[in-house]
Amino acid sequence: MVQIDVVYQGKLHTRATHEPSGSTLVTDAPRDNMGLGEAFSPTDLLATSLVTCMLTTMGIVAQREQIDITGATGRVIKEMTSTPPRRVARLTVTLHLPQKLDEEQTQKLTNAAHACPVKKSLHPDVEVITQIHWG
């Protein structure tokens, strides 16, 4: 169990504190939904959590398999629905791994990316497109 405490600061801003570490982050509503876009929006954090979870899960498998993926990068493009209800419609994830691996290693890391808990927690209506580039 992890506790995260959130304070609404007014003007569509929040500050969240991660209890175990004390780390904080702020959010703002996006410009297209009454905010100023001064920080991650809640749905930006959803998109961010997907790509960071995929890389972390791949990192766990890579560490276990003694594969160095240091320097791997990820990008996510979040698209919202154009009609109500407002929700995330599509997340397009692009991962770049620093080296080419053999077929077995590639498959293990690909499987890890698709098995990340955040991806497994998304509603089936959220389309997730994933591209992984090796080397």
The pLDDT of residue 61 is: 98
Task: Please state, for a pLDDT cut of 70, what percent of the chain lies above it.
Answer: 100
pLDDT band at 6 (very low <50, low <70, confident <90, very high): very high
- Measured in degrees and rounded to the nearest 5, phi and psi for residue 93 equal -110, 130
| Strand partners for 4 | 18
Q: What is the pTM of this model?
A: 0.95
Query: How far is residue 112 from each of residues 40, 61, 84, 115, measured CA to CA in Å?
Result: 26, 7, 33, 5
The pLDDT of residue 3 is: 98
Q: Are 69 and 109 in contact (CB under 8 A)?
A: yes
The pLDDT of residue 75 is: 98
Q: What is the CA radius of gyration of the chain?
A: 17
Q: Is 41-134 in CATH node 3.30.300.20?
A: yes
Q: Are 15 and 6 in contact (CB under 8 A)?
A: yes
How many helices (H) and strands (E) are present in the chain, helices listed first? 3, 6
